[in-house]
């Protein structure tokens, strides 16, 4: 089996996948004694042992042209627009020609339409829900200290949001082809079934793309 890369895997890494996450909580909970305190009292998760620490912005995460498949579920929204371009460009480098790339991100269009439906019925809580659904504001109350810690160390705050047009444009910009909107189970390789969670598709967009084969391969930047 070729290399299958699950980046930003969180707590749901695939058994037959190489799982990376850059949450600092993973490093902290693996420190003897300190990790036990954080999982018991600050709500830090118990990370799977097989998950490795790695940042998608690192060009040396894996060798170029080494991956059959790459999966990013709810990762790009935690990066700035420029960093997201870099991350997708790195995924292009990592994939073999003909390799498949799947992304799931929150759907700005769907979230905004939900907000506007609330406005139409004069729902006073619509704006608060909208801000929470956008995920771009950190916890502010003094009683939310656990959430603040997890937000700081877990990179949970959103930095940029996408609709179907902008995410497909980003993929085209980085050289991917056969870019399409996909649903759960609508994949061209069954190995995605091991890492893809149907619940992550709620108010979200899933795309599937391919790195062009040798004949259509663009010249990669150094």
Q: Which domains does the chain have, with CATH numbers?
A: 3-106+159-216 (3.40.50.150)
Assigned token pair, 172: 């085209």
If residue 134 lies in a helix (H) or strand (E), which one and from where to where? Answer: helix 126-134
Dihedral of the CA atoms 219, 68, 101, 198 (nearest 10)? 180
Number of residues written out for the chain: 222
Render 22-50 in DSSP notation, one character per residue: --HHHHHHTSTTHHHHHHHHS------TT
Give residue 142's pLDDT. 43
Is 0.75 topped by the overall pTM?
Answer: yes
Render 87-129 in DSSP notation, one character per residue: HHHHHHHHEEEEEEEEEEEEBHHHHHHHHHHHHHTT-TTHHHH
Encode the chain (222 residues) as per-residue pLDDT tens digits.
679 999 988 777 788 999 998 877 766 665 566 656 656 656 666 667 778 888 899 889 999 999 999 999 999 999 999 999 999 999 999 999 999 999 999 999 999 999 999 999 999 999 999 999 998 776 555 445 455 555 554 456 889 999 999 999 999 999 999 999 999 999 999 999 999 999 999 999 999 999 998 654 444 433
Q: Report the SS3 class of residue 79.
A: coil
Assigned token pair, 210: 């391919």
Per-residue DSSP letter, 197: -
∠ CA 125-73-84, rounded to 5°: 90
Residue with tokens 């969670």: 197
Per-residue DSSP letter, 220: P
Q: How far apart are CA 143 and CA 146, in angstroms?
A: 8
Burial of 151 (0-12, 13-18, 19+ CB in 10 A): middle
- Taking phi over 0 as left and psi of -120 to 50 as alpha, with beta for the rest, 2 belongs to beta
Q: How far apart are CA 72 and CA 59, in angstroms?
A: 16
């Amino acid at each position: 089996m070729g290399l299958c890369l699950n980046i930003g895997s969180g707590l749901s890494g695939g058994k037959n996948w190489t799982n990376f996450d850059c949450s600092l909580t993973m490093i902290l909970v693996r420190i003897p004694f300190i990790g036990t305190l954080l999982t018991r009292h600050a709500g830090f998760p118990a990370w799977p042992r097989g998950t490795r620490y790695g940042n998608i912005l690192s060009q040396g995460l894996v060798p170029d042209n080494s991956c059959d498949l790459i999966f990013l579920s709810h990762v790009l929204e935690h990066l700035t627009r420029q960093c997201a371009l870099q991350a997708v460009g790195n995924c292009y480098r990592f994939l073999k020609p003909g390799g498949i790339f799947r992304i799931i991100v929150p759907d700005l269009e769907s979230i905004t339409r939900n907000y506007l439906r609330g406005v139409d019925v004069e729902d006073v809580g619509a704006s608060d829900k909208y801000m929470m659904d956008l995920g771009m504001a950190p916890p502010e109350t003094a009683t939310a200290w656990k959430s603040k810690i997890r937000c700081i160390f877990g990179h949970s705050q959103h930095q940029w949001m996408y609709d179907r047009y902008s995410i497909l444009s980003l993929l085209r910009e980085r050289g991917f082809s056969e870019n399409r909107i996909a649903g759960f189970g609508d994949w061209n390789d069954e190995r995605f079934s091991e890492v893809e969670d149907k619940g992550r598709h709620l108010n979200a967009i899933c795309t599937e793309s391919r790195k062009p084969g040798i004949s259509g391969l663009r010249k990669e930047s150094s």
